[in-house]
Amino acid sequence: MRKIAWVTDSTTYMTQALKEHPDVYVVPLSVIFGEEIYEDGITITQEEIYEQMRSGKAATTSQPPVGVFAALFENLKAQYEEVVLLHVSDKLSGTLSSSVQAADMTGITYHVIDSKVLTMGITFLLEEGLHLQQQGKSIEEIIARLHAIIPTLENYILIGNLQQLHRGGRLTNAQFVLGTLLNIKPILQIKEGIIQVYEKVRSEKKAVKLVMEQCKAAITAHDVRKLAIIHGNRPEDAIAWKEELLRVKPDLRVEIVPLTSVLSVHAGEGTIAAMWYNTALEG
């Protein structure tokens, strides 16, 4: 069996098992507050990001430099025969482009997967790829299976903080004022690699009801085995969502995880989302 390295980035939620896996490597994006630049998950914590945003500071994010990837790939060349580049959606970040440039510069043998998502969407793909590798599947079979899974993504993101979307330039002044006055709760969706507005709902209660209806319909209609509930400081609500879904499908594996930093920066504290693939995942 060929020795394979898996390279991802810090938009991926890293479970403890993935953190401890010897063949998984994570390259951090940057989180920027004014002139201060931090390495995501290394020199700044999730809570520190929230604290800065609560104080009114605007945050942005930036892809890793090509040189950071190149240094990693130079180290991997002597250890691995092939490298899988599994990254955040190419339409949301230039991270994949930086990774590919570095791979070409260093001459490693690599395979590219544009996840067309972030956070737990990448986590599930990474877990599945490692599972298939452990089963003895060839690299070609693994890549083909992951590419087949990607289009089955379904997700709903209930934005908790319109102000953060406004600061980040994703809402105009008029949209922000109108949304605040009318108590509009936008539900976003990552579709075909970009974040789109799925629905604008009046009141939190109606928004949650709609998201739960969509989740229940999917897990009933498809062989969904794993689903993630991703939240920004809303653990009680995440547990309530999980309990409601398990009443519909008791054997569903529901993972409750915090927002990754990049999504926190753009969506804000108070956001909660559900994400899954409408296909059977075994990893």
The residues spanned by each domain of the chain are 4-29+62-151, 152-277
CA distance 166 to 115: 27
Mean pLDDT of 78-88: 97
* Cα dihedral 136→95→105→134 (10° resolution): -10
CATH classification of 152-277 is 3.30.1180.10, yes or no?
yes
Residues 6+ apart with CB under 8 A from 199: 186, 187, 207, 210
CA distance 218 to 238: 18
Out of 1.10.150.120, 3.30.70.1290, 3.40.50.10170, 1.10.645.10, which CATH number does the structure's domain 4-29+62-151 have? 3.40.50.10170
pLDDT at 168 over 90: no
Of the ranges 77-81, 187-191, 261-265, the best mean pLDDT one: 77-81
The predicted pLDDT at position 202 comes to: 86
121-131 pLDDT, tens digit per residue, is 999 999 999 99
Sheet containing 82-87: which strands, arranged edge to edge?
24-27, 4-9, 82-87, 110-114
Per-residue confidence at 260, pLDDT binned at 50, 70, 90? confident
Mean pLDDT of 176-183: 51
Burial class (CB in 10 A: 0-12, 13-18, 19+), 15: middle
Q: Which of 199, 171, 201, 196 is nearest to 184 (CA)?
A: 201
Helix axes of 139-149 and 120-134: crossing angle, nearest 10 degrees? 150
Mean pLDDT of 178-202: 79
90-120 pLDDT, tens digit per residue, is 998 999 999 999 999 999 999 999 999 999 9
Note whether 35 and 170 are within 8 A (CB): no
The predicted pLDDT at position 180 comes to: 53
The SS3 of residue 154 is strand
Task: Report the b/e string of 110-120 with b at 16+ CB within 10 A.
Answer: bbebbbbbbbb
CA distance 217 to 146: 24
The predicted pLDDT at position 12 comes to: 97
Mean pLDDT of 75-93: 96
Mean pLDDT of the chain: 91
Per-residue confidence at 181, pLDDT binned at 50, 70, 90? very low
